[in-house]
Structure 1
Amino acid sequence: MNPPPAPAPRASPIRVLLADDQALVRSGFTLLLDSEEGITVVGQAADGAEAVERALATRPDVVLMDIRMPVLDGIAATARIVSTRGLEHVRVLVLTTYDTDAHVYEALRAGASGFLLKDAGPAELLHAVRVLAAGDALIAPSITRRLIARFAAAGAAAAVGQERLAVLTAREREVVALVGRGMSNEEIGAELFLSPATARTHVSHAMVKLAARDRAQLVVIAYQTGLVGP
């Protein structure tokens, strides 16, 4: 399988905020990110409440957010950041230690744009930061799809129902279902015999109609509404 294409280069550096209660973890990420051209760490936070404060003060493009932190956990901090006026552009990348973390789905539902295991390689982390900064979501890895499926099932009682999908065309429903399965625009295009650009247009229209922040939210909606089954 070919590696995912790199996002287009930016005119200004990607501003990253680190939120983790372990100083050693923050230091390691800072060294890695600051050594990469086009990325700069603009702040650190040792708990979720401080992460919200630092996000307001520094206006980062991406927040690397640990889940388990004191004062305010990463899920609650994510929800506060994405719902705060002036921080609409901020993308949250949730970091977790175990691939069985039951909070991953809740973090995505709270507004995170993706998640990554803490033991991911440097190249994977840097790619994730660039993907989120470009306005996309990190949903493609199979482990992400498996976790979302597992924990979306647990939240099925709170499903919003099929009526939410009434605003979509038949083609847009097909596209959202494929997004829910973790497909990229290129893969969706191949599946439906569309160009990647047309697939992206359908994804964008679906996000607007469903008031989805990004692809991560489309995945959640796909499971909540039953377009994709666990």
Structure 2
Amino acid sequence: MSGEKTGLILAGGPLNLAFAEPFIRKQFYSWIVTADAGLSVCMELSLKPNLAVGDFDTLGRERMEEIRKNTGWEFEVHSPQKDETDMELAVGAVLRAGCRKVHVLGATGGRLDHELSNILLMLWARRQGLSMELYDERNRLFLLEAPEDSGTRFLKKEAYGSYVSFLPLTEQVKGITLMGFRYPLIKKDLSIFENPGLCVSNELAEQEARLFFEEGALICVESKD
């Protein structure tokens, strides 16, 4: 939908600056939020965040206070003894800013518990009206949920990488049909317990491919070698 506000979250995980800088420069972001050590990345990229949020246990409180004093930026500081992750806090801030879409960098490639939590958070965010997309130099991850995303088009000229995988985020994803892919499907069910790898490492066989499904939620991973 045109006119929707798109936010950017810089998380504290590993991030290749040579990838991040041109990626960010090509976008227009209405709101920029950093989560904990993502603040350092923001400074290295010469960006001004609208809000820096987190417990700052990774960045360090002393460094955080130094940055706050020298920049005058807005901070939302939390205790390390909290129920939410720093990413959850950042997503909440983006929602409060009225964004309906957010790109997230630095959410993958580090601690696996953090990465899995960030991926699972995409479903919660969608239920709040926010579409999350996670990016790194090799992968783009986003959520698809029936019925609204059934019929999603994938264009070869816009593909983030050569490979497209669909992973179940709900116990079952029913009635998957893949058209225009190297490995097509017709009305197949995808189950976490029975065949979770059924739709891994597919490829577009035509210039345009389509995904249809009847029930459930999927994580789509577009990736490159």
Question: TM-score category by the smaller chain?
Answer: 0.3 to 0.5
The structure where helix makes up a greater share of residues is 1
The structure with higher relative contact order (CA 8 Å, sep 6+) is 2
TM-score by length of 1: 0.38
TM-score by length of 2: 0.39
